[in-house]
Structure 1
Amino acid sequence: MTTQRISQAQAYKAAPDQMKAMVALEESFATSGLDPELVELLKLRISQTNGCAFCLHMHASDLRKLGVADMKLHLLAGWHESRYFTDRERAALGWAEALTLVSRTHAPDADYAALAAHFSEEEQVRLSFVIGAINLWNRLAIGFRFAHPAAHA
């Protein structure tokens, strides 16, 4: 276990304009037309990839509130091999991993082609904003060691 460096509340106090902008971006996803379950699956998968315990706790809890089966959450890390995920979800998850690991992947054409087969240009851009936002949240939470609630959800 690590020691918290800066709390989430301290981050809001230290950089209120930037934190308000991030919250506004997050709030925009609710009216983006994107499926809330898909958005949360992307956030959880990216948080798994980045190893962000704070965000893993938050997004697993949010997915449970949306009624997503626990087994689907357990299999998310193995989505490539699981039958729990639709082709549309697979395309979004592949794009999320490609952009999260962009220094290694360089966003391959195959991942983009899969995305383009299932999502409009508008949805592609909006999904990319979701991906970018959760990556930034992960970096803040990991960098400052935001603490997730200790109790089980």
Structure 2
Amino acid sequence: MIEFYPNSIYYPREAVEEKLAKGELAKTEEHLMGWTERHRGEIWDCARDDADEPTDEILLDNLRALLLCKGSLQPAAEMGDMIKEITKEVWYRNENGPEAPDMVAAEWRAKYLTKWREARMFEAFILIEKRAAQLLKILKG
């Protein structure tokens, strides 16, 4: 089984599972289901390279592998979320005196972008595990 865990931050599995239980990953789950639907053919093509009749685990592993290659479930939505985070940082930093938003954004990207993306990917991998039945239904549908 292909696994993913953030290298640049400590993000415990329990924290992600708690967010899932609270419904805080609903949008990410929606993006994952849509992404799986859009990439179903490509996932199957890759899975057939592993086996003529791919098992459920092979299908899910190829979903994970393709997601790692693509790097994002929904680039536009993630960009919007990133802009919201940067806007919060600009607001916070300007509480102590004016700072140029472009500089704050550049610093945020340098300091947090990799960590932020890794956290997103980790959440997607937990969702793949927790929603395997729904994802397989999409893949086999």
Larger Rg: 2
Q: Which category of TM-score, normalised to the shorter sequence, fits these structures? A: 0.3 to 0.5
Give the TM-score, by structure 2 length: 0.36
Structure with more relative contact order (C-alpha pairs < 8 Å, separation 6 or more): 2
